């Protein structure tokens, strides 16, 4: 046996790479803010609210308690719609899995209804449900349902049949196979669907609030527009974006826990 020598890897320490990435990010953020400020100065404050004024407005909103109230209103509709849609979007593919014939019969209708622009339904939904949370909720549910349904369905189709056979031979019931094999295999698909659907759930709520609402981030943006308060419009957009990013961060943490077994590069995460 010859003695093993350590392989010589060219020295680019992970630490310096990390700093380069971080520096790049900070640089980009600064230039974006700068562009924003320049935009405000050259187009006038009716079209572009200056960043500091927006920040100050968010501070005022937070101090008055309106920030929490609006976020809570938007979050209430988005979250409830999101949960209902996820539940249906996951359950339906599991039920359809049991009967290929029903699947074949139902699939074209699901695909066709997916093509309906959901916002186009809003006036009709207001006719039906009035101006409470209900019409917004329906739009959110429809928005999220198709995304979760399609990703779950694709996930079920991608399950390795050999694993299912192994479980059947070992004596697993269909219920156990659904829970232990199919659900676990489609989790990566499910989380992809969640991340695509989340910003849409919030968007759908905000658009709904443009039309019918007395509170919520969308209502604040639309109200500010009506009184030509551009700073308010921008503050609303910043609050909505921050909200989506915050929810996304929470989903990322849950995903990392649920899929901790996966041999993925941490930096590949979206």
Partner 1 sequence: MGEPPLLEIKDLGKRFPARAGREPPPWVIQGLSFAVRPGEFLTIIGPSGAGKSTLLNMIAQIDTVTAGEIVFDGQAVDAHDPRTLRPGVDRRIGYVTQDDNLLPWRTTIDNVLFPIEVQGRLNDETKAHAEMLVRAVGLAGYERYYPHELSGGMRKRAALIRTLAYDPPMILMDEPFGAVDAQTRMQLQADLLKLWELGRKTIIFVTHDITEAIALGDRALVLSRQPARIAAEHAIPIPRPRNVQDIFALEGFAAIYERIRAAIQ
> For partner 1, which residue of 21, 27, 38, 176 counts as binding (CB under 8 A)?
176
Which stretch in 30-38, 213-221, 227-235, 261-269 sits in contact with partner 1 by CB under 8 A?
261-269
> For partner 1, which residue of 76, 79, 114, 184 counts as binding (CB under 8 A)?
184
Does 64 participate in binding partner 1 (rule CB under 8 A)?
no
DSSP state of 177: I
Are the C-beta atoms of residues 183 and 98 closer than 8 Å to each other?
Answer: no
- For residue 1, the minimal CB distance to partner 1 (Å) is 16
Helix (H) or strand (E) holding 202, with range, is helix 183-211
> For partner 1, which residue of 131, 166, 245, 251 counts as binding (CB under 8 A)?
166
Closest CB to partner 1 among 134 and 172? Answer: 172
Does 182 participate in binding partner 1 (rule CB under 8 A)?
no
Closest CB to partner 1 among 126 and 258? Answer: 258
135: closest CA among 244, 245, 212, 201?
Answer: 212
173 to 160, 165, 170, 180, 182: CA distances (angstroms): 17, 11, 9, 10, 12
Closest CB to partner 1 among 69 and 178? Answer: 178
Does 192 participate in binding partner 1 (rule CB under 8 A)?
no
167 to 92, 133, 171, 259: CA distances (angstroms): 23, 45, 6, 21
> For partner 1, which residue of 126, 154, 167, 196 counts as binding (CB under 8 A)?
167
Does 242 participate in binding partner 1 (rule CB under 8 A)?
no
Q: CA–CA separation, 250 vs 231, rounded Å?
A: 29
Does 173 participate in binding partner 1 (rule CB under 8 A)?
yes
Q: CA–CA separation, 92 vs 103, rounded Å?
A: 10
Q: CA–CA separation, 88 vs 197, rounded Å?
A: 14
Does 261 participate in binding partner 1 (rule CB under 8 A)?
yes
Closest CB to partner 1 among 101 and 162? Answer: 162
Closest CB to partner 1 among 83 and 259? Answer: 259
Are the C-beta atoms of residues 68 and 192 closer than 8 Å to each other?
Answer: no
> For partner 1, which residue of 60, 107, 174, 180 counts as binding (CB under 8 A)?
180
Q: CA–CA separation, 191 vs 40, rounded Å?
A: 38
Write the Ramachandran bin of 130: left for phi over 0, alpha for psi from -120 to 50, otherwise beta: left
Q: How many CB atoms lie within 10 A of CB 29?
A: 10
Q: CA–CA separation, 29 vs 240, rounded Å?
A: 18
- For residue 179, the minimal CB distance to partner 1 (Å) is 10
Closest CB to partner 1 among 154 and 167? Answer: 167
> For partner 1, which residue of 55, 88, 172, 244 counts as binding (CB under 8 A)?
172
Residues belonging to the chain: 270
- For residue 5, the minimal CB distance to partner 1 (Å) is 24
> Which residues of the shown chain bind partner 1 in the complex (CB under 8 A)?
160, 162-163, 165-173, 176, 180-181, 184, 259, 261-263
């Amino acid at each position: 046996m010859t003695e093993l020598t350590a392989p010589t890897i060219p020295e680019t320490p992970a630490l310096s790479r990390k700093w380069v990435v971080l520096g790049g990010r900070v640089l980009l953020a600064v230039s974006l803010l700068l562009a924003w400020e320049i935009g405000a100065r050259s187009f006038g404050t009716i079209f572009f609210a200056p960043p500091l004024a927006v920040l100050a407005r968010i501070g005022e909103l937070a101090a008055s308690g309106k920030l929490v109230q609006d976020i809570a209103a938007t979050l209430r509709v988005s979250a409830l719609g999101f949960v209902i849609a996820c539940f249906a979007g996951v359950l339906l593919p599991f039920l359809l899995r049991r009967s290929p014939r029903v699947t074949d019969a139902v699939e074209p209708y699901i695909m066709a209804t997916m093509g309906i622009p959901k916002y186009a339904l809003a006036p009709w939904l207001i006719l039906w449900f009035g101006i409470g949370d209900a019409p917004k909720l329906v739009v959110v549910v429809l928005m999220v349902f198709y995304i979760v349904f399609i990703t779950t369905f694709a996930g079920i189709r991608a399950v390795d049949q050999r694993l299912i056979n192994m479980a059947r031979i070992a004596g697993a019931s269909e219920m156990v196979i659904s829970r232990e094999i199919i659900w676990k295999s489609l989790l990566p698909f499910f989380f992809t669907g969640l991340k695509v659907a989340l910003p849409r759930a919030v968007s759908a709520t905000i658009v709904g609030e443009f039309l019918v609402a007395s509170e919520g981030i969308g209502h604040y943006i639309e109200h500010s527009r009506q009184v030509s308060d551009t700073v308010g419009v921008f503050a609303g957009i910043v609050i909505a974006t921050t909200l989506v990013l915050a929810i996304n961060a929470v989903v990322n943490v849950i995903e990392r826990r649920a899929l901790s077994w996966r041999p993925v590069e941490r930096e590949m995460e979206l």
